[in-house]
Amino acid sequence: MASSVEISLNVVKCLGAFYIIYYCVGSLAFVNLISLMLTYFVLPFVLVTFIRHALWDYILTVTTIHVAVSSLVMLEFPLNWNWWASLGIASLFCICIGESLLLSINAKSLYLT
């Protein structure tokens, strides 16, 4: 069981990774939807380098914090259903990729031992 300090540090690392990827991809892809999807596609490949379990929890936490930050920046809560649909699909996609990666990593380590 991880301590609350370790979990907090992992959340900070996940947020840092998310926003670095988000702004790097955003500078290359000027369409918001493409930038969002590419960010959530690349994110699990980066997160599995330091998160070895419950990746879905960290992805949902990062997404929730991103919604809060977006609301604070825009000074209003996002009500556009297109934004929510694309964010939900991207998050689900990211969770599926991330958990699949963790499953294959853990299966390889079990096979090797």
97-112: pLDDT as tens digits? 999 999 998 887 666 6
Please give the structure tokens belonging to residue 81: 């259903």
pTM across the whole model: 0.88
Instruction: Determine the pLDDT at residue 112.
Output: 63
Q: Extract the residue ranges of the chain whose pLDDT is less than 70.
A: 1, 109-113
Residue 53 is given by DSSP the state S
In the block, tokens 């096979």 appear at: 111
Q: Where are the domains of the chain?
A: 4-112
pLDDT of residue 1: 65
Q: What is the pLDDT of residue 12?
A: 96
Q: Are 22 and 35 in contact (CB under 8 A)?
A: yes
Which helix (H) or strand (E) covers residue 71, if one does?
helix 55-74
Say what the pLDDT of residue 108 is.
74
